Structure 1
Amino acid sequence: MITVTLADGTQRKFDQALTVQAVAEDIGPGLANAALAARVDGEMVDLSHIINKDVELTIVTGNTEDGLEVIRHSAAHLMAQAVQRLFPKVEVTIGPVIENGFYYDFASKDPFHEDDLVKITAEMKKIVKEKLPVERFEMSRDEAIEFFEQKGEKYKAEIIRDIPEDQVLSMYRQGEFTDLCRGPHVPNTGKIKVFKLMSIAGAYWRGNSDNEMLQRVYGTAWSDKKELKTYLHLLEEAEKRDHRKLGKKMDLFHFQEEAPGMVFWHDRGWSIYQSIQQYMRKKLNARDYKEINTPSVVEYTLWEKSGHADKFGDDMFSVESENRQFAVKPMNCPCHVQVYNQGLKSYRDLPIRLAEFGSCHRNEPSGALHGLMRVRGFVQDDAHIFCQENQISGEVSQFIDFLHEVYADFGFDEIIYRISTRPEKRVGSDEVWDKSEKALADALDAKGIDWEELPGEGAFYGPKIEFSLKDCLGRVWQCGTIQVDFSMPNRLEATYIDENGDKVTPVMLHRAILGSFERFIGILLEHHAGNMPLWLAPTQVAILNITGQQSEYAEKVGKKLKNQGFRAIYDLRNEKIGYKIRQHTLNKTNYLVIVGNNELESETITVRSHDGQDLGSMKVEELVQLMDLQINEKK
């Protein structure tokens, strides 16, 4: 007798082995029709999987995360089959699931065009109507190499050669199309009904620029049309909010080929940057951080000693001078240890919190650069806390409070918490990693915060809590982090004198809230669609005269607001007032102050908000009070 325990705790008993599909049919026709795959004792399997012992079973349907992954994985195969039907000489390579969709890389002598997406989509729909069974079978490694070589698919054969010789490979067949894949997949192609091919791009084989350029086709797939429609709407909204477009429209920054991945900040964009920096500096001062500044170019031996050369060597810019090798710093950590090491430290001095708006450079691949979101030159709101082991939980707890306060002020109220644990390539003993990971988990648990684990995603020197923000479109951005490091202080000979008079190595906490200023500003621009909160806005108020008769009064109002510390401009051009209002509205100016003859005579102003609301006539002092209140409340 076989006992199957379902997700709701109920049990079903069967007197012989049977497939997952048969169990779903036994439960009911509705579930049997909706089923796509299953989890058996936690492991994802196809519906054809045979159950021959007692198991825990969860039937996977399309309205779950597991179900969507199965649909998208299967849609990638569907697309590859359609491409090979239309273009028989095209080779398939790899086709993974990605966030909200999938892609497949193809080797083709002739590049794909947008018109080809229409043809491929039509062929995919034909295959869906054919309801081809999707069958899993196994092959030995050598059989699989021979199979794909005979088909002329050298890329698949190359992938398989990297697999250990004794491994049995999972294969999937649908009609004439066969692919190497771990699965699971939908039971037949008719289950893939809602999809859309999105774009074409170039991609190097295995991400190496020395390899051949392939054709990458991106697509998305969902369980129903409503979900697809919602997703496409969000994409349209994201396109409108693209920080690169806003940066150009609002005259904030630009990039150019002579400095790839480096930002040219214009005065308006630099104003946002400075506002954020001044805000963060004030917060740091209130929490007893000491602001420092360290060199941008440091001898390479320091990076070797810290371990960064081994981990980040390929991403570091190097320079030689007087027969000495130097590196432009990719991060600030080793330099902060050098500041800590100046002078003898006692346990009474700890914790010591060193903060820096540190300028860093990393040699990111040119194809990975993306506006402010991925750059080569950036500034981190970086800090390192040197403390005793018994101070870790308290420091992490205080940091979490600090981070919550900052994110709330910037308009983010939904945070995702993850703990990244030890990677395969790391420094330090397992005992040290055990203590580090436990300290982070304890700090979150003490605050009643739900978190998830990211196995193997920690830094090479220690585990970390990653703090991710959700923006107004539901997109997730990993920004903040705090990392426990027992290793680097030891490698760089940092010590303090403990209460027994012995030299002891401090614990080093690496922490950041914004991540990098550049990327965080890009996130802010897209989150607020360029309509920055008043306290961050590059131009908070513009004074517009109706005719030349009010020029002197408009300038007087503007200077009065400037003297109060507001970022104010006055537009005295000989243009119609409607034109001026439209231009400053498009420029995302928060308040428009309009002065005509009535305002001149009564020494008042007429105020209009960015969203078009007429706030009526008031004294300048009333606007000052209104704006001060809004700035203080970070709105």
Structure 2
Amino acid sequence: MPIPYPIDTQRHSAAHLMAAAVHRLFPSAKFGVGPVVENGFYYDIDIGRAFTPENVKQIADAMKDILKENPAFERQEMPIDEAIQLFERMGQPYKVELLNDLKTKGTTKLSEEESGDIDPTNIHTVSVYKTGDFTDLCRGPHVGHASDIGAWKLWKVSGAYWRGNQNNPQMQRIYGLCFETPQALAAFERMLEEAEKRDHRKLGAELDLFAFSPLVGSGLPLFTPRGVLLRNLLTDFVWELMKPYGYERVWIPHLAKSELYKTSGHWDKFEDDLFHVSSKKSDEEFVLKPMNCPHHAQIYASRPRSYRDLPLRYSEVTTVYRDENTGQLQGLSRVRSITQDDAHVFCMADQVQTEVMGMYRIIEAFYGVFRMPLRVRLSVRDPGHPEKYLGGDESWQKAEAALANVMKQAGVSVEIGEGEAAFYGPKLDFVAKDAIGREWQLATIQADFNQPERFGLEYAADDGSKRRPVMVHRAILGSVERFLGILIEHYAGAFPVWLAPTQVLVIPVAERHLAFAETLAAELSAQGIRASADRSNESVGKKIRSAEKQKIPYMLVVGDKEAAGEPLTLRIRGKEEQEAVEKQAFADRVKEETKGRIET
């Protein structure tokens, strides 16, 4: 039995199979790039209009026809000038543009996701692949024959600007799914169906957690009292975990002079993502802060430091701003105002491992409460492109070794993410798995030898010499907005008692029981329980259904017997059976579940 090809190779080949089908149906189609993405592939295609659902079905049918023919994926190398002439004759201007960039600049300057079709290290020759009567520019690799591709399905279509630039033509991006087996594909489709039910944008509106306003702007969410409560519960939990490790809170403004980010090195990397702020009263150039670390570095630099002062651990929950493309904004998953539970530790080199271990213990405890398993990636430099990173080899090697040693001491295996490091240092990325099996990169720990150098940060060592501190960046949630969106979907909006905005709803059977219901809710609230009474003029059945739709954990239904002092009637979210409970025993139960963050 032949060994199957790697799944990414199969997905890449599926993208070419789809392109071949489009070429067969639409001979004048112009092709952009067709990379592998998580769970499948896509191809950017220009046919001068949008693809209809019927077109997508026709493309899938054409793919099946080509599969029956089972063409080989034939590789050919040719001089770059010859390839330019070939694609000019074929009427493929996007491929010609890529080849000309490759020839003149040595790179296509596409994002990593979209640069998979060209090898920028070879500017003399390129490779093309022929699949039946379709020829494409591609570095490969591919499967041997079309029949070597696993189970696939065309998924969705969206608009995409060529090379991500809104000044360029808009193309049609056709996404497909591809897995090794039909069973794996079916399992993923079931997960997609479940994810659709859990969509945080839909649940967030139904549960009155956040809203968007066209007058405020895209990607700028507005959080309701219920949503703010959730945010505060999450960040308070992080602070509770951090405080024993000696963190202190700081505060910084939301804008700064551009010079701050030019000094830090962020300007050259993120200039296109900055919101620029002008003033009629000053010639100074300001930006809304895209990150917090340079500000925290200035707090460190505000006074002389000694080795006796270190480590200094600064913590802050604050919002940064990134000028994301409108088409990339999505609910809380991709926003322009990003609240970070940010912390920066300034320490001596021999303190790095201890500090990182403490950070790891915080992350481990936090995600353990949500029952979200973690895997860890050590993100290091791309050795082929050292120009992308600040700092010398020695600093990078020290930082990478320090992070790896901490995980080894903790008994945690790590995978290596080559080329995934931040431009200023290596990092540990923590990937959490949610209730339906999706993975999300959330928490991060980043070692940084470069910003202390660029800002000239110093401390007086025990021998009187001046030395550079190490700066360690750390975020637990990553982005409060994104984590909250993930958490809504993780729980399908049915938050555990400690997180539920309303923990207990007291439901009066009739109007005459409302006063008792309000008194009971007030008594529970006085004990720190988030309780309220249903004041609506609806039937008790409708009140219960409404509470269930709001996913409230506990409902106390009160009528004549309860008002007369008999045990309370308790309904628990998701259960048909009712319980009889004593008031104080029930209150103690809720308080214990809240204090212990018990997931019931």
Q: TM-score, normalised by structure 2?
A: 0.93
Which of 177, 185, 208 does residue 228 from structure 1 map onto?
185
Structure-2 separation of matches of 1:464 and 1:235: 31
Structure-1 separation of matches of 2:207 and 2:542: 17
Structure-2 separation of matches of 1:386 and 1:499: 16
1:66-96 CA-partner distances (Å, limit 9, x unpaired): 1x22222121111111111111121122111
Match of 1:7 in 2: none
> For the Cα contact (< 8 Å) 2:378–2:426, is it kept in 1?
no
1:346-368 CA-partner distances (Å, limit 9, x unpaired): 21111110101122111111111
592-601 vs 624-633, greater mean Cα deviation? 624-633
Structure-2 separation of matches of 1:223 and 1:468: 23
Asked if 1:405 is matched to 2:396, the reply is no
AA in 2 matched with 1:427 = L
Asked if 1:288 is matched to 2:246, the reply is yes
> For the Cα contact (< 8 Å) 2:32–2:43, is it kept in 1?
yes
Asked if 1:446 is matched to 2:404, the reply is no
87-96 vs 230-239, greater mean Cα deviation? 87-96
1:500-558 CA-partner distances (Å, limit 9, x unpaired): 12222211111111111111101111111111111111111100000122111111110
Structure-2 separation of matches of 1:166 and 1:459: 27
User: Taking structure 1 as reference, are residues 379 and 233 closer, same or farther at Cα in structure 2, changes over 3 Å only?
Assistant: same
Q: 1:193: Cα distance to partner?
A: 6.0
Which of 506, 526, 542 does residue 579 from structure 1 map onto?
542
1:437-469 CA-partner distances (Å, limit 9, x unpaired): 111111111222111111222122211111111
Structure-2 separation of matches of 1:420 and 1:546: 62
Structure-2 separation of matches of 1:87 and 1:446: 58
Structure-2 separation of matches of 1:333 and 1:516: 15
Q: 1:613: Cα distance to partner?
A: 4.5
Match of 2:153 in 1: 196
Match of 1:120 in 2: 59
Which of 312, 323, 348 does residue 363 from structure 1 map onto?
323
> For the Cα contact (< 8 Å) 1:272–1:538, is it kept in 2?
yes
Match of 2:461 in 1: 498
Asked if 1:149 is matched to 2:88, the reply is yes
Q: Counterparts of 1:470-489 in structure 2 under 5 Å?
A: 470-489=433-452
Structure-2 separation of matches of 1:250 and 1:151: 54
AA in 1 matched with 2:449 = F
1:39-90 CA-partner distances (Å, limit 9, x unpaired): xxxxxxxxxxxxxxxxxxxx4x16xxx1x22222121111111111111121
**Runs of 5+ unmatched residues, structure 1:** 1-30, 36-58
Structure-1 separation of matches of 2:148 and 2:424: 46
417-426 vs 396-405, greater mean Cα deviation? 417-426
SS of structure 1 residue aligned to 2:477: strand
**Which one has the bigger strand percentage?**
1
SS of structure 1 residue aligned to 2:478: strand
Asked if 1:420 is matched to 2:377, the reply is no
Structure-2 separation of matches of 1:114 and 1:261: 29
SS of structure 1 residue aligned to 2:551: coil
SS of structure 2 residue aligned to 1:386: strand
Among all aligned residue pairs of Structure 1 and Structure 2, give the percentage whose two residues are the same amino acid.
42
Structure-2 separation of matches of 1:78 and 1:504: 58
Match of 2:15 in 1: 76
SS of structure 2 residue aligned to 1:468: strand
Asked if 1:599 is matched to 2:578, the reply is no
Asked if 1:265 is matched to 2:217, the reply is no
User: Taking structure 1 as reference, are residues 166 and 309 closer, same or farther at Cα in structure 2, changes over 3 Å only?
Assistant: closer
1:317-371 CA-partner distances (Å, limit 9, x unpaired): 1112211111111111111112122332221111110101122111111111111
> For the Cα contact (< 8 Å) 1:427–1:461, is it kept in 2?
yes
User: Taking structure 1 as reference, are residues 419 and 175 closer, same or farther at Cα in structure 2, changes over 3 Å only?
Assistant: closer
User: Taking structure 1 as reference, are residues 479 and 182 closer, same or farther at Cα in structure 2, changes over 3 Å only?
Assistant: same
AA in 2 matched with 1:493 = G
Asked if 1:136 is matched to 2:136, the reply is no
Match of 1:432 in 2: 395
AA in 1 matched with 2:545 = R
Q: 1:421: Cα distance to partner?
A: 3.1
AA in 2 matched with 1:296 = H
User: Taking structure 1 as reference, are residues 603 and 339 closer, same or farther at Cα in structure 2, changes over 3 Å only?
Assistant: farther
Which of 279, 288, 305 does residue 328 from structure 1 map onto?
288
> For the Cα contact (< 8 Å) 1:360–1:377, is it kept in 2?
yes
Match of 2:300 in 1: 340
Structure-2 separation of matches of 1:116 and 1:248: 34
> For the Cα contact (< 8 Å) 1:128–1:193, is it kept in 2?
no
From the CA coordinates, give the structure whose radius of gyration is larger.
Answer: 1
SS of structure 1 residue aligned to 2:272: helix
AA in 1 matched with 2:233 = S
**Runs of 5+ unmatched residues, structure 2:** 104-121
> For the Cα contact (< 8 Å) 1:195–1:220, is it kept in 2?
yes
182-191 vs 477-486, greater mean Cα deviation? 182-191
Which of 315, 326, 335 does residue 375 from structure 1 map onto?
335
Higher RCO by CA contacts (8 Å cutoff, separation 6 or greater):
2
Q: TM-score, normalised by structure 1?
A: 0.88
Structure-1 separation of matches of 2:568 and 2:123: 82
Which of 230, 235, 258 does residue 300 from structure 1 map onto?
258
Structure-2 separation of matches of 1:316 and 1:403: 30
Q: 1:428: Cα distance to partner?
A: 1.6
User: Taking structure 1 as reference, are residues 426 and 166 closer, same or farther at Cα in structure 2, changes over 3 Å only?
Assistant: closer
User: Taking structure 1 as reference, are residues 108 and 226 closer, same or farther at Cα in structure 2, changes over 3 Å only?
Assistant: same
Q: Counterparts of 1:76-115 in structure 2 under 5 Å?
A: 76-115=15-54
> For the Cα contact (< 8 Å) 1:251–1:269, is it kept in 2?
yes
Structure-2 separation of matches of 1:564 and 1:630: 13
Structure-1 separation of matches of 2:219 and 2:362: 31
User: Taking structure 1 as reference, are residues 493 and 192 closer, same or farther at Cα in structure 2, changes over 3 Å only?
Assistant: closer
Which of 207, 214, 223 does residue 171 from structure 2 map onto?
214
SS of structure 1 residue aligned to 2:235: helix
AA in 2 matched with 1:256 = S
Which of 388, 391, 396 does residue 348 from structure 2 map onto?
388
Match of 1:275 in 2: 233
CA RMSD of aligned residues (A): 1.6
Q: 1:293: Cα distance to partner?
A: 0.7
1:586-615 CA-partner distances (Å, limit 9, x unpaired): 111111110011211234311111112534
SS of structure 2 residue aligned to 1:344: coil
> For the Cα contact (< 8 Å) 1:379–1:517, is it kept in 2?
yes
User: Taking structure 1 as reference, are residues 337 and 414 closer, same or farther at Cα in structure 2, changes over 3 Å only?
Assistant: closer
1:148-199 CA-partner distances (Å, limit 9, x unpaired): 1111112122222233485332222122111122223232223346321111
Q: 1:241: Cα distance to partner?
A: 0.9
Structure-2 separation of matches of 1:143 and 1:503: 59
Match of 1:183 in 2: 140
Q: 1:417: Cα distance to partner?
A: 3.2
Q: 1:145: Cα distance to partner?
A: 1.4
> For the Cα contact (< 8 Å) 1:419–1:440, is it kept in 2?
no
Q: 1:203: Cα distance to partner?
A: 0.9
> For the Cα contact (< 8 Å) 1:130–1:190, is it kept in 2?
no
Which of 598, 616, 619 does residue 582 from structure 2 map onto?
619
> For the Cα contact (< 8 Å) 1:419–1:451, is it kept in 2?
no
Which of 93, 99, 103 does residue 160 from structure 1 map onto?
99
574-583 vs 613-622, greater mean Cα deviation? 613-622
Structure-2 separation of matches of 1:541 and 1:274: 19
Match of 1:564 in 2: 527
